[in-house]
Chains A and B, each alone.
Chain A
């Protein structure tokens, strides 16, 4: 399936039989005749109502984010198809206009400009990598095009961006990390050493988790930053302080497999208990050779990759529509592992755009401000077909959504959920009120 998204535009598929089409045409003709007799009816209203809603999809097709981008594209295609089959948005079909940003902030900003000024997109959407979001958001704000990101960065809720940038489909790293601390402190240990990449993503983990552990009476006794250019990790393991009960790792990039392998060789059969973020192993088969050392260790997951007994019908529906099997791999290729903990954000964001547009009575770019206000008014999101990862609460002031998190244990080559956090565990004090900024 899937890589049909390579064609630049995902056009709504009709899926309409000839009989239904004829019946529909008859009804439309009758309705049209009746409408045209009404005073005030203008021709372009019909044209406007049937024109597609254009969603500019800023996709990481190339560059470091390509593995994520591929699955974000597949999820976007599936969600668009589901929305269109259900009648689109306000009765109008959704058209996805995909542009590669090369996972580069400069190109990202150019792509936003292209959506706003060349494609005439209604909104821009879909960015994951934080530096692309931060590089693009100023242009989105200046061009006044709503920019729905699926990034999990804390940049939205931190107040760094602007009123036109929202993150309603995925929780942010601060919330994720904070909600892990109570379980880690009470189940794995209170003395933690963190190993993280020495750039902003790693620093976020370091700062938020240290604060959250302190609040639980725990302590981060070692903070080991790995430079981004590192390719071997042996020299860092002796720096892990004695007395470490939990080793917290969050590595990204091509060095992850080496990191895990070397960690296994260093510790052998005994060592601290291990807790990691699945970001380390998104799109990587957990049963890959070299990862045996992770058996019995724990991971944060945004959305359980392996179907669980507790997974509901909405997850099953979502999994089937996107084309993911019970092991989190593509239905077409079992070696093609999904970025399951992140890509649901695309599905849910598109459904939130639909909800916002329908609530705002959105008709075109002139209603963008109304759309922002309508999304800001959203509070509860129930677990549903639109929200298969679970229920959520949206904070209109900070433009950030909050939801459940999962902790899974590796066993038998699978990730088995052992704990699901409450939404409230991820709450923190508002750092911005975007609603006070002018539109």
Chain B
């Protein structure tokens, strides 16, 4: 890749973060709140993109990493009085640790078997939340005390604080994704995705690289989960259910797998598809489904993936 295209790509991603910064001052309240939510969810989608988009690991269990962060931050706030900064760090660590543990076992499988094994692990994690219902309040969930929802003395309930925390997390996830995509590590990930056997023949320890991809992905998902709980104040088992393993897959497919900003585009599009269509019909997921079919027909590699293929080959 030429230096020019490198600069172009870096400028694009910096501009995207800059635009999101500027939107804070422009957007009306409702969309301002939505965008904060979308940026956190997009961080989760970017986490998924590291394992699925860049490395080709189609997991159906990423909700467990998101929930690991969510519950770690929530339970630590609830029972140990831990604040937001500690909650996000521990949430990240929980996502990382769970991904390493699950990866050590699940990565012994590939393809469809990997999908099923990750799905089963996620279901076990989901039921664990019910098993410890005395602490987690099972399906009802619990509210994180407002005293613990402070970061450096600032209340996360304040719209501006919430927005900038979400933006910071998002920018960090963009930086990590961008860094991975540009690094030699990212190139090994892509090599595994394209031809695992050949990568192994070239002398790479494929298992360790896949574990690394899953660990980075799990850590990012854990941080996103912790941030989501702390920013919006609620921890519940719904976030560990199968649908929250499917959502990041859809967001990434919509936006473009193996593109840094694709997960954000997919999350944004799907959020507003549901939001707008639910005002007209109860079949809003049907509209999402139709949109997905349309995307597959006209943008088979997702929005940014197709753009990269047709007009901007320099997009990471």
Question: Chain A: residues with CB nearer than 8 A to chain B?
Answer: 6, 8, 61-62, 99-100, 102, 104-107, 109-110, 113-114, 116-118, 130-131, 134-135, 137-139, 142, 153, 155, 160-161, 198-201, 203, 227-229
CB-defined contacts of A153 to chain B, threshold 8 Å: 140
Count, chain B residues at interface, CB 8 A: 33
What does the 1/0 interface line of B269-282 toward A look like (CB < 8 Å)? 00000110011101
Q: Is the interface of A mostly helix, strand, loop or mixed?
A: helix
Complex Cα distance, B238 from A99, in Å, reads 20
Q: Is B222 interfacial (CB-CB < 8 Å)?
A: no
- Interface residues, chain B, CB within 8 Å of chain A? 28-30, 33-34, 37, 127, 130, 133, 137-144, 146, 157, 232-234, 236-239, 274-275, 278-280, 282, 284
Q: Which residues of B contact A102 (CB under 8 A)?
A: 278
Contact B33 A8 (CB under 8 A): no
Contacting pair A105 B236 (CB below 8 A): yes
| Known interface pairs A117-B28, A199-B138, A227-B127; A134-B133 also in contact (CB < 8 Å) | no
The answer to whether residues A138 and B232 also contact, given A99-B278, A104-B238, A114-B30 and a CB cut-off of 8 A, is: yes
**A130 in contact with B140 (CB, 8 Å):** yes
Using Cβ atoms and an 8 Å threshold, which residues of chain B touch A62? 282, 284
B130 to A131, Cβ gap below 8 A? no
Point out the residues of chain A lying under 8 angstroms from B37, CB to CB.
110
CB pair A117–B140 under 8 Å, yes or no, is: no
CB within 8 Å for A131 and B140 given contacts A8-B280, A227-B127: yes
Distance between Cα atoms of A102 and B241 in the complex (Å)? 15
In the complex, are the beta carbons of A100 and B282 less than 8 A apart? Answer: yes
- Specify which of B140, B232, B275 is in contact with A139 (CB 8 Å cutoff): B232
Closest chain B residue, CB of each to CB of A228? B130
Q: Specify which chain B residues have a CB less than 8 angstroms from the CB of A138 in the assembled complex.
A: 143-144, 146, 157, 232-234
Once A100-B282, A130-B140 are accepted as A-B contacts, the answer to whether A109 and B232 lie under 8 Å apart by CB is yes
With the chains together, A110 CA to B137 CA distance in Å?
Answer: 22
Q: Of the candidates B138, B146, B278, B284, which one forms a contact with A203 in the assembled complex, judged by CB atoms under 8 Å apart?
A: B138
Q: Are A117 and B33 in contact (CB under 8 A)?
A: yes
Contacts of A99 in B (CB 8 A): 278-279
**Chain A residues within an 8 Å CB radius of B237:** 131
Beta-carbon contact of A135 and B278 below 8 Å: no
Q: In the complex, A110 Cα to B37 Cα: how many Å?
A: 9
Contact across chains for B29 and A229 when beta carbons are under 8 A apart: no
By beta carbon, the residue of chain A nearest B134 is A203
Chain B residues, CB < 8 A from A199: 130, 133, 138-140
Instruction: List, in ascending order, chain B residues with CB within 8 A of A229's CB.
Output: 127
Complex contact A100–B33 (CB within 8 A): no
A61 to B278, CA, bound (A): 10
Q: Establish whether residues A61 and B282, one from each chain, have CB atoms under 8 Å apart when the complex forms.
A: yes
Residues of chain A within 8 A of B140, CB atoms compared: 130-131, 134, 153, 155, 199-201
Q: How far is the CA of A322 from the CA of B232 in the complex (A)?
A: 36
Q: Are A201 and B143 in contact (CB under 8 A)?
A: no
6 smallest beta-carbon distances between A and B, as pairs: A138-B233, A117-B29, A200-B140, A118-B30, A117-B30, A199-B138
Q: What are 5 A-B contacts with C-beta separation under 8 Å?
A: A6-B282, A113-B30, A116-B29, A117-B33, A228-B139
Contact A8 B279 (CB under 8 A): yes
A135 to B228, CA, bound (A): 12
- Report B-chain residues with C-beta under 8 Å of the C-beta of A109: 232, 234
CA distance A100 to B276 in the complex (A): 11
Is there an interface contact between B139 and A131, defined as CB atoms closer than 8 Å?
yes
Residues of B within 8 A of A200 (CB): 133, 137-140
Chain B residues with CB below 8 A from A155, complex form: 140
Question: Please, which residue of chain B has its CB at the minimum distance from the CB of A106?
Answer: B238
B129 to A, closest residue via Cβ: A199
Residues of B within 8 A of A110 (CB): 34, 37, 275
For A130, what are the chain B residues with a Cβ–Cβ distance below 8 Å?
139-140
The answer for the CA separation of A203 and B278 in the assembled complex, in Å, is 33
- CB nearest to B37 among chain A residues: A110
Shortest C-beta distance, B153 to chain A (Å), equals 18
- Residues A105 and B279 in contact in the complex (CB < 8 Å), given A110-B34, A117-B28, A200-B138: no
| B28 neighbours in A (Cβ, 8 Å) | 117-118
Q: Which of A6, A116, A198 has the most CB of B within 10 A?
A: A198
Report the bound CA distance from A62 to B287 in whole Å. 14
A110 to B33, alpha carbons, bound, how many Å? 9
- What separation, in Å, do the CA atoms of A139 and B144 have in the docked complex? 12
In the assembled complex, the Cα of A267 lies from the Cα of B251 at a distance in Å of 50
Do B238 and A105 touch (CB < 8 A)? yes
Write out the residue numbers on chain A whose beta carbons fall within 8 Å of the beta carbon of B157.
138, 142
**Nearest chain A CB to B46's CB is how many angstroms away?**
19
The chain A residue with its CB closest to the CB of B271 is A110
Q: How far is the CA of A114 from the CA of B28 in the complex (A)?
A: 11
Query: What is the CA–CA distance of A199 and B143 in the complex, to the nearest angstrom?
Result: 17
Within 8 Å by CB of A105, from B34, B141, B284, lies: B141
